[in-house]
């Protein structure tokens, strides 16, 4: 784990299992804690994407907001974010949300925080 790691540390975060693909149908999402970051993992038509579950406008959670195609709408102030890229699409958010690598291995979806690798 990265905690306590000094600059230049070569340790990488571990993969965290989200769900089996049988329990994660298209059009759904799951949230999971990845090294202290709340991450929302979405199944968009059979492809999995992960973004940090935080609105960059006010720090609240994004899940609970409407999913519209490949966008999620913040439930408080209506900012829209692209689930595929994390890009902030509308005010009042101007900063993108972090994205995370997702893998499917042995019928299980996993995610990890690669921001500090």
The CATH number of the domain holding residue 73 is: 2.102.10.10
Residue 87: domain span: 20-106
Query: Which tens digits make up the pLDDT trace of 45-62?
Result: 999 999 999 999 999 999
Residue 77 lies in a domain: yes
Residue 73 lies in a domain: yes
Residue 69 lies in a domain: yes
Residue 115 lies in a domain: no
- Considering its fold, how many domains does the chain have in total? 1
Q: Which residues contact 59 (CB under 8 A, 6 or more apart)?
A: none
Rg (CA), the chain: 14
- For 112, which DSSP code? -
Residue 111 lies in a domain: no
Would you tell me how many other CB atoms lie within 10 Å of the CB of residue 28? 13
Residue 55 lies in a domain: yes
Q: What is the pLDDT of residue 117?
A: 75
Q: What is the pLDDT of residue 12?
A: 57
Q: What is the pLDDT of residue 46?
A: 95
Residue 101 lies in a domain: yes
Residues of the chain with pLDDT under 50: 1-11
Q: What is the pLDDT of residue 116?
A: 78
Residue 59 lies in a domain: yes
């Amino acid at each position: 784990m990265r905690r306590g790691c000094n600059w230049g540390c070569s340790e990488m975060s571990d993969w965290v299992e989200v769900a089996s693909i049988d329990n994660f149908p298209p059009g759904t999402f799951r949230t999971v804690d990845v090294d202290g970051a709340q991450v929302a993992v979405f199944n968009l038509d059979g492809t999995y994407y992960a973004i940090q579950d935080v609105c960059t406008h006010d720090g609240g959670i994004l899940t609970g907001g409407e999913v519209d195609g490949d966008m999620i709408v913040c439930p408080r102030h209506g900012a829209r974010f692209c689930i595929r890229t994390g890009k902030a699409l509308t005010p009042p958010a101007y900063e993108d949300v972090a994205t995370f690598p997702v893998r499917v291995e042995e019928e299980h979806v996993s995610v990890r925080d690669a921001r500090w690798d």
